Amino acid sequence: MTRLLIVGGGIAGLTLGHALLKHAPEVDFDLIEKVPAQRPAGAGIILAPNALPVLDGLGLYGPLRDHGHFLPYNQLCDHQGRTLQKLKGPEDRLLSFHRADLHQVLQDGLKNHLQQGISFQGQQQSKDQVQVQLSSGEVRSYDLLVGADGLRSKVRESCGGPDPVYSGYTSWRTVLTEAPHLPGASELWGHGRRLGLVPLSRGRIYLYFTLNARQNQDFLQGDACRIRELFAEFEGADQGLLERFRSDTPLIHTDIAELPHPYWGKNRTVLIGDAAHALTPNLGQGAGMGIEDAVLLAKLLGQHREVKTVLSELGRIRHPRVQTVQMVSRCLGKLGQLQNPTLVGLRDRLMRAGPANATPDWLWTPPLA
């Protein structure tokens, strides 16, 4: 029997747990998460039409529908709220969530495997096993180590993998309650900045902001009201939401970074999700790519006994698709962050002249073994 450790209890790691139970039930696995207990953390997220059928195959679609909010469309607009493109997927396959709700759904059924408040400290590999050092002081032996611990992955660092690269723009995210009704999600493109409006369940709305900036700049200086000044060009198209910001409105600030080239690990360590290929969030595919990784990895573990074969096949199947999604997302981000008024005007005219639904069909059909 294969013994496996999953590091990271985020979307990719939790999905892998469910996928192992279905596709590789002979694999004995532990899943560790450094956060001591689940708490309402993060902001919002959209699961796209490629991710939801994969989760449906794990029996998770019903619970997800109960906690998510169905979006009939996700549109791109100019700074005045006029539609540039409307992105649609297959019916009933575009859902928004508060991240805490999504994590809770994914945690259900993994109680016997999930250990919280424990973090990965390091590893040493031999021919047949990997010795993992944990924050608890334990050293455990496994046949395979899976890093699903995100953009700043300590597992990837322990393998000598690449560091993230800053994209050139920063972001803020928040969730407001008792928000106005919005039928679908919208992303407004301005001049070197964007504003996203995503309705969630229970009358909440997820807001995100991006801004061209040098890395590690503190624009708000602890005062969330300053967000209104930075994004004033969206007033009138923001559904009045900017006026609701107060000095103490909670905001999550993140400099947007990516791994330009996927890195899948080596020897008895494999990486999935953002740990392997963090991408800019412009296609809303960070979670989707991690979900696809997780299910494919579980299927490969159910089909092959040799760890070397599993790692080789994972990279062979996933690498071309992931690299394409990274490239498209990166280019879309550069387009959305244009700042020069002449280029912004040209961009908006070209977007309006394009096809009514510019979403490529290949994005919704992941190649799974």
Question: What's the confidence (pLDDT) of residue 110?
Answer: 95
**φ, ψ at 273 (rounded to 5°):** 65, -150
The pLDDT of residue 74 is above 60 = yes
Question: What's the confidence (pLDDT) of residue 262?
Answer: 95
- What is the mean pLDDT of the segment spanning 302-308? 88
Question: What's the confidence (pLDDT) of residue 94?
Answer: 87
**What is the C-alpha separation between 352 and 85, in angstroms, rounded?**
7
Question: What's the confidence (pLDDT) of residue 355?
Answer: 75
DSSP string, 213-259: --TT--SSTT-GGGHHHHTGGGTTTSTT-GGG--TT---EEEEEEE-
- In which residue are the tokens 């963090």 written? 278
The pLDDT of residue 364 is above 80 = no
Angle at 266 between CA 263 and CA 271, to 5 degrees: 50
Question: What's the confidence (pLDDT) of residue 36?
Answer: 86
Element (H, E) at 30: strand 28-33
The pLDDT of residue 307 is above 90 = no
**What is the arrangement of strands in the sheet containing 130-134, beginning at the earlier edge strand?**
120-125, 130-134, 139-142
The pLDDT of residue 195 is above 60 = yes
Question: What's the confidence (pLDDT) of residue 89?
Answer: 57
Question: What's the confidence (pLDDT) of residue 183?
Answer: 84
For residue 198 the two structure tokens come to 């995503």
- Domains for the chain: give ranges and CATH numbers: 3-71+100-164+260-336 (3.50.50.60)
What residues does 144 pair with on adjacent strands?
4
Q: What is the pTM of this model?
A: 0.94
**What is the C-alpha separation between 140 and 202, in angstroms, rounded?**
43
306: Cβ–Cβ under 8 A, 6 or more apart, which residues? Answer: none
Looking only at the bridges linking them, the beta strands covering 120-125 and 114-116 are: unpaired
- For residue range 308-361, what is the model confidence (pLDDT) as tens digits? 899 999 999 999 999 999 999 999 999 999 999 999 999 999 999 887 666 677
- For residue range 156-168, what is the model confidence (pLDDT) as tens digits? 999 999 999 999 9
**What is the C-alpha separation between 160 and 46, in angstroms, rounded?**
32
When the pLDDT of each residue in the chain is averaged and rounded to a whole number, the result is 92
- For residue range 92-150, what is the model confidence (pLDDT) as tens digits? 578 999 999 999 999 999 999 999 999 999 999 988 999 999 999 999 999 999 999 99
- For residue range 33-67, what is the model confidence (pLDDT) as tens digits? 998 875 656 899 999 889 999 999 999 998 999 99
